[in-house]
Amino acid sequence: MYGNDETMIAELLLQLNDLLGSDRVLTGEDLSDRYAHIWRMDEPLLAKAYLLPKSTKEVSEIMKLCHQHQQPVIVFGGLTNLVGSTESQGHEVIISMEKLNEIEEIDVMSRTITVQSGVILEQIQAQAKAQEMLFPLNFGAKGSAQIGGIISTNAGGLRVFKFGMTRQMVLGLEVVLADGTIISSMKKIIKDNSAYDLKQLFIGSEGTLGIITKAVLKLVEAPRSRNSAFIGVDDYPRVVKLLKFMDSGLAGNLSGFELIWNHSYRAFTNPDTGVKPPLPYDYPYYVLVESLGSDQDKDRLALSDLLEQAMEQDIVADAAIAHSESDIQWFWRIREDVHVLKSLCRHDQHFDISLPIPLIGEVIGTILAEAKRMEDVEECFAFGHVADGNIHFIFGKTHQSPQLISQINDLVYGKLKAIGGSVSAEHGIGKHKKPYLHLCRSAAEIALMKSLKANMDPLAILNPGTIF
């Protein structure tokens, strides 16, 4: 490939400098303060160049040049991925979307927001809130994750149960293909059944089919109330019963239902965090619920009444209700601050698997028990969005050898195929999960995916080595 030929690289860099200017083409020592992941800032970035385009047109021109030179490209967003998607080997060109960071329009009447791909999720949430609207996507990395990467991985988060994955919130996209072609369908309409819905090709494709540069996102009316409670539960069957009970009792207002295992709850609220536990450490499971409604006081009372009924029916062992906005922030900080768990691990390994809700207690319990018996595993934290069947693990280990990584992968992933689970609920496949894709996708499905990739990126220059 020309991308490995120094003469051709020099020629490409000259052309990129002409296009962007030397201040937006970083090479050599200028890469020293760049990194491939926000949790790996001490590791030097390996790349031929780091590019900072400011528009879709510039991304298009970059890709025309890279296609001409058969130059591999990796796209950088907020660098919060957990599957190795932004890891590089040194021969690639990095395209960072950080300067495509404008919110172009909020249309309250159409209930849409139009954004460039480098806009941070928290900024979208704030702008929507200022217009008394809600962009319901929410997760712990909201202060760093960029919307382009979020769409490219079809991220989930804390409110999937009510609002769906990112896919359900995207109305229109602008995308640059591998050869620089711009595909733009920035419509604000919800219904468009005119042949193939091409934007769906790019949502969740992890930047392997095209580079997302803009999006039209769907907003909803901002709720007038938000209530939360931490709940202690004695066994997993009661967790499932509680989910059905709360969803029915709240009549569509249940927006979050997070499950935390006892060991993880203790870690989330350990003394070093400065965050006190809302409930004592007496229960095997802790559920954090959120309801969104129209009347703060009435909705809190309704939640309180439901919890009393749940206690009377022996579904719930204990509960603490948030009585103020600061209480709500306290409760959700516990669940969202995943870095607390990572900080307790010498070496960490992350998972986000999906499995049928009724089987979660047994399967996760087996994994936790087997992990305890592994000599080089020091910690195993489990938590997740149980209402949509998505459970997260963080393993703490004594070392990071390929053999141990593979051993832990086999422990977690090996149980999924037989029960119809998935190795990735919301983080994607990236580079790390490629050997396990066959556990949740058939040979025919993978062949069709590869065919799409070969057709849309025949030179395989977009995020090479990702997924396949």
- The answer as to CATH 3.40.50.300 being correct for domain 2-99 is no
Average pLDDT, the chain: 95
| Amino acid 346: pLDDT | 96
* DSSP bridge pairs for 114: 105, 216
Class of domain 225-336 as given by CATH: alpha beta
| Amino acid 2: pLDDT | 43
User: What integer is the mean pLDDT of 445-452?
Assistant: 98
**Residue 267 pLDDT greater than 50, yes or no:** yes
CATH code for the part of the protein at 103-221: 3.30.465.10
- Residue 108: partners with Cβ closer than 8 Å, 6 or more residues away: 131, 133
Domains of the chain, residue spans: 2-99, 103-221, 225-336, 339-427
2-99 with 225-336: one CATH topology? Answer: no
Q: What architecture does CATH give domain 339-427?
A: 2-Layer Sandwich (3.30)
Binning pLDDT at 50, 70 and 90, where does residue 8 land?
Answer: confident
> Mind listing the pLDDT tens digit for each residue in 62-92?
999 999 999 999 999 999 988 999 999 999 9
> Mind listing the pLDDT tens digit for each residue in 170-220?
999 999 999 999 999 999 999 999 999 999 999 999 999 999 999 999 999
| Amino acid 1: pLDDT | 42
- Residue 353 phi/psi, 5° resolution? -105, 160
**Residue 4 pLDDT greater than 90, yes or no:** no
pLDDT above 70 coverage of the chain, percent: 99
DSSP H/E element including 199: helix 199-202
Taking residue 299's Cβ as centre, other Cβ atoms within 10 Å add up to: 20
| Amino acid 140: pLDDT | 86
Q: How many whole angstroms separate alpha carbon 8 and alpha carbon 457?
A: 21
| Amino acid 3: pLDDT | 46
Between the CA atoms of 125, 353, 408 and 82, what dihedral angle is there, to the nearest 10 degrees? -20
